[in-house]
Chain A
Amino acid sequence: MSIARVMLFGLGLHFKMLSHSPFDMFVVVASPLIFATLAYFLFQNGQGQSLLVAALASGVMGIWSTTTAQGAGALQTQRRLGILELLVASPTPFWAVVLPISVAISAIGVYSLAIGLVYVRVFYGVAITVHDWVAFAVSIPAAIAAIGSLGFLFASVLVRYRSAFMLGNLFEWPVWMISGLLIPVAVLPGWLQPISWLFAPTWGMRALRHATLGTGSAWTDVVVCAALSGVYLVAGSLSLRFFLRSARARATLALT
């Protein structure tokens, strides 16, 4: 019970803190505006629905962008603030401290989705018609939780690297490209498709697209998001335990 309370409190606290960060807010606000605008000019012959999907895609791009920009370096941030050792030494399991930070980082991407939809509605007159509102409403937290869990895995694996922030950024453009956001997977080389299945944004976007257009079962994608979240969490927890033990044994937690 106390762990759940810590996690919920951490999620709320970090969500509020990130919402006041000019850099993070820029990332989540700019991404949908930029990529929805690009989509508008590139797909001028497209219909309203394609722009609606582009707005959703640019929202997911915002979620992924903030995850790569901040999620991978989440522990580095705690180190820079001088509280990493305190957090590790506290009686709360460390994963329960890190996971809410990672999910909060992805959760501020919800602004991206909202801004993307409002933007295409107001500026391009696109009607926001959703085939299955319930599935759509469930898809959003499922996508955010899955992407946040992937951020948790990144943070855990990259904890020993001073350049974790930069390493995380490496994944921004490639995952945007292969996840079927603005670019259909069919356009890409075939060998990229199985790789895209490993990344949560692929399934988060599929869920949102299917719920919006009714072209497939969003619930299947939601289940995959949940399963991927589980895999990321287990892998991230194991990685965190390994690296923490190593850092404590060598007394390098604050130095890495």
Chain B
Amino acid sequence: MTNLRLLTIGGLISYRALFGWLNPFSYVITILIPSLTQLAFFVYLGRTAHVADDAYYVAGNALVAAASPSLFGMAQTVAGERYTHTLSLLVVSPASRIAIFVGRSLPATLNGIVVSIWTLAIAAVMFGVHVPGHALAPLALTIIVTAFACVGIGLFNASLGLRWRETAVIGNLILYVLLIFAGVNVPLDRLPGWMSTLAQGLPVTHGANAARQLIAGASLSHVLPLIAAEALVGAVYVAIGLSTISLFELEARRGATLEVA
């Protein structure tokens, strides 16, 4: 019961603290508008390069829009504790780490879903990308699974916050890697073999591919293997993230480096 309370109420309070929810203005200018301007940048860059059509960039960037709040939101669950000098209290508490961090990842997942849907919907209207009616439900599933995968790598980023202070740097680095490697803006067949191979193990790669095929008219059964692959990638990152949280916490306790990391 305690773990359930930690997972739900703890996660919600932590997430509200992230933006200072007294005023939704921060959310709009931090999340909603940049996701659209970033997408518009790549759509016009794509038109310049004549590499793919608008739908390619709209789908890819709408899906990767879930990564930004996941990476930085999850990192902030550790960095924020350090900033308010409560990280050591968190570490000495007997609370289950899985309940704490999975709880904090739930609002981030929900946020990623909201941002992806918002970005896809507005961008589809802005750039005249037609989304077939029968693709809406499978697209929603794809977005949910991709947001989960992004939170998985966000959890890993959060764990790095126990070891390194500059979580924003690491988050940006991961985000940039996704923008280049994950087939979001550069088709995988234009990348060198090692990059496209690496992309198979990154969040968003399979989700973006599935979303593009759905927008092009494919059925759910056709893209199900891609969605399953995205879910698998997410599950692996969640496992890695929870493991590295335990590892870095142990390391910080041993070296008494929690506050100096």
Contact = CB atoms under 8 A, between A and B. Distances in A.
Interface of A: 22-23, 26-27, 30, 34, 37-38, 41-44, 163, 166-167, 169-170, 172-174, 176-177, 182-184, 187-188
Ranked 9 nearest A-B pairs via Cβ:
A173-B37, A42-B49, A26-B169, A177-B41, A41-B186, A34-B176, A22-B166, A183-B44, A173-B38
A177 B40 contact: yes
Contacts of B191: 41
Contacts of B30: 166, 169
B169 A23 contact: yes
A30 B172 CA distance: 9
B48 interface: yes
B40 A173 contact: yes
A44 B190 contact: yes
Interface centre among A27, A41, A188 (most CB of B within 10 A): A41
Nearest to B164: A22
Contacts of B49: 42-43
B141 interface: no
A183 B48 CA distance: 6
Interface in B126-178: 166, 168-169, 172-173, 176
Nearest to A21: B166
Interface in B11-65: 25-26, 29-30, 33-34, 37-38, 40-41, 44-49, 51
B179 interface: yes
Interface residues of B, number: 29
Contact of B33 (A34, A42, A170, A188): A170
Given A173-B40, A174-B37, A166 B48 contact: no
A34 B190 CA distance: 16
B161 to A, nearest CB: 14
Contacts of B172: 26-27, 30
Contacts of B252: none
B185 interface: yes
Contacts of A170: 29, 33-34, 37
Given A34-B180, A177-B40, A26 B173 contact: yes
A187 B41 CA distance: 11
A92 to B, nearest CB: 31
B144 to A, nearest CB: 26
Nearest to A182: B45
19 contacts: A22-B166, A26-B169, A38-B179, A41-B186, A41-B191, A42-B45, A42-B51, A163-B29, A166-B26, A167-B29, A169-B29, A170-B34, A173-B41, A174-B37, A176-B41, A183-B44, A183-B48, A187-B44, A187-B48
Given A26-B169, A42-B45, A169-B29, 11 more contacts: A22-B166, A22-B169, A23-B166, A23-B169, A38-B185, A42-B49, A42-B51, A42-B185, A166-B30, A170-B37, A183-B41
A42 B29 CA distance: 29
Contact of B179 (A34, A172, A182, A188): A34
A236 B43 CA distance: 34
A23 B168 contact: yes
B120 to A, nearest CB: 17
Nearest to B186: A41
A206 B173 CA distance: 29
B76 to A, nearest CB: 13
A174 B41 CA distance: 7
